[in-house]
Amino acid sequence: MTKVLVTGAGGQLGKTIEKLTQDYANINFFFTSSSDLDITKASVIEKYFKEYNPDYCINCAAYTNVEQAEKEPEKAFSVNAEGVRDLSLVCKEYNTLLIHISTDYVFDGKKARPYTTEDTPNPINEYGKSKLVGEKYIQQILKKYFIIRTSWLYSKEFGKNFYKTILEKAKTEKEMYITTQQTGCPTDAENLAVYMISIIENNTEKYGLHHFCDGEAMTWYDFAKKIILENKLTEQVKIVEAKNYRTFARRPEYSVLRN
């Protein structure tokens, strides 16, 4: 039976994978939260790999607070770069195939067409920079790996994300001002989870760098309207275009990925 260790399993993606495990009887999953397996501690990584000796490691562990990363970049780099480096070294030692999640934020957003894996990254915030360094460590250390860049990840059930925030705000707010200044591809965590498990189950995907996102490009404003419509809340709340929307961290204006 194939053994799969999932790190960062307390987040929305990890919990989504755990929800789906009953559909895959031929795979034995081991789920570890960041409080159990802290990838910033090499000795802890070694301990869990020695215990489980996994065939695959799906790394969902990440520092994902884009705003906070600007204020404490060292913490973002500790997890997204150095932690990934140490995880890669242990994967190499145990001959474990790493499946690592990265981000559309490795790009600067200056293109007017979807980014491919051939495009040169140029992150404009600390979060994106830390994730790119993590990618480079994997590519330097491992010969076989899967780096999967995704975008605007959300779960309808787990974690904190844009989808759930809109529904929560709809309970108390009559109007919501949402930016039209960023365009990307919202991606359901369940679709990404199924794709990653299919890599393990089918063993046919080519090693290396991949893009995976749901197909429809839209702004955050468009996505908010879609969420309200999907949940039949159009009579309760109005979505309004926010002009000149500003955040502390710079974000790419266009970060659509081509699968």
Catalytic residues: 127
Residues 64 and 53: their CA atoms lie apart, in Å, by: 28
Residues 200 and 224: their CA atoms lie apart, in Å, by: 33
Torsion, Cα of 10, 11, 16, 19 (10° steps): 20
Nearest to 101 by CA among 13, 161, 217, 203: 13
Q: Residues with Cβ < 8 Å from 21, sequence gap 6 or more?
A: 27, 29
Kindly report the CA angle at 13 between 171 and 72, in degrees rounded to 5? 85
